[in-house]
Amino acid sequence: MSILRYDGEGLQVLVLLKGHPYDRNALFTMLESDPDVVVTGVEHPAAADYLDAGRAAPYDVLLFYDMPGVDLGSGYPPRQIDPPGRVRRGFEGLLEAGKGLVFLHHAIAAWPSWEAYGEAVGGRFLYRPGEVRGVAMPDSGYRHDVTHRLSPVDPDHPVARGLSEGFELCDELYLCPIFEEEVTPLFRSDHVFEDAGFFSAAEALRGRLHSRRGWAHPPGSALAAWTRTIGPSTAVTITCGDGPEAFGNPGLRRLLMNAIRFAAGDVAARRSGGG
């Protein structure tokens, strides 16, 4: 089934899915936890059709929990797939139309050959060495089941509402380039983002999980959530959200719902009676 539709009134969110394994039941349990948010899920390849201002018009926010553009089943190095022209043009149309966008966890690894997508996300996760903004970079790092604490950079920011003290989360973390100078930071992790505490994504694809053999990566940013404005569009990126344990965390649920409302902007305010 490519479309999972939930009927009701409220803030309309379209969730783009597939390209990376995910627990469907746990994900939608989290997304259904807010009665004021109505979720429609669409999986690839159909999801690509909604990167279009016309098709996406009924939705207030697009939530990306997908990873197109990388064929993890192609062996090593993984095959990278360029987005079709209609997808590029459609995405640009979404930004020009002021559509709210939220990128969650592995969405930062989508479309590695598409620079404009990475700029919208505000960072890149690489499954093989490549270039990021013209600079040669090694493959990125990952580590599962890390218990760390997320703290708001500005407790008064709308995305931090109800989370002024931060929260603890057990989740997968990424060591990868983040364009910290061009984004507004929202939450930072207390974990140390150095290669000694992570494993190589390329090694994992070679069948050697939890390996850093021959791998080195520059120290990374501790940012776990940020926002940026692209024309009239507001985008929020949250690097958390690997699986059921994270999805069940009250702090992450609040952070995600705050992000959806913030990305929706005035639409969210009108629906909640704020204007």
Q: What is the 3-state secondary structure (H, E, C) of the chain?
A: CCEEECCCCCEEEEEEEECCCCCHHHHHHHHCCCCCEEEEEEECCHHHHHCCCCCCCCCCEEEEEECCCEEHHHCCCCEECCCCHHHHHHHHHHHHCCCEEEEEHHHHHCCCCCHHHHHHHCECCCCCCEEECCEEECCCEEEEEEEEEEEECCCCCHHHCCCCCCEEEEEEEEECCECHHHCEEEEEECCCCCHHHCEEHHHHHCCCCCCCCCCCCCCCCCEEEEEEEECCEEEEEECCCCCHHHHCCHHHHHHHHHHHHHHHCHHHHHHCCCC
The CATH number that applies at residue 228 is 3.40.50.880
pLDDT single digits (tens) 16-35: 999 999 999 999 999 999 99
pLDDT single digits (tens) 70-104: 999 888 999 999 999 999 999 999 999 999 999 99
Give the mean pLDDT of 266-275: 53
> Given this model, what pLDDT does residue 267 score?
64
Over 50: is that where the pLDDT of 249 sits?
yes
Taking the C-alpha atoms of residue 20 and residue 27, their distance in angstroms, rounded to an integer, is 13
The domain total for the chain is 1
pLDDT single digits (tens) 172-201: 999 999 999 999 999 999 999 999 999 999
Taking the C-alpha atoms of residue 175 and residue 204, their distance in angstroms, rounded to an integer, is 14
Over 50: is that where the pLDDT of 6 sits?
no
More confident residue, 273 or 50: 50
Over 70: is that where the pLDDT of 5 sits?
no
pLDDT single digits (tens) 201-238: 999 999 999 999 999 999 999 999 999 999 999 999 99
The closest of 200, 216, 175 to 76, measured between CA atoms, is 200
175 φ/ψ angles, rounded to the nearest 5 degrees: -115, 105
Confidence grade of residue 10 (pLDDT, cut at 50, 70, 90) = confident
Are 64 and 39 a contacting pair, CB within 8 Å?
A: no
What range defines the domain where residue 181 resides? 3-271
Over 60: is that where the pLDDT of 270 sits?
no
Over 80: is that where the pLDDT of 8 sits?
no
Over 70: is that where the pLDDT of 67 sits?
yes
Strand partners, 243: none
Compute the mean pLDDT over every residue in the chain, rounded to the nearest whole number: 93
> Given this model, what pLDDT does residue 72 score?
92
> Given this model, what pLDDT does residue 214 score?
97
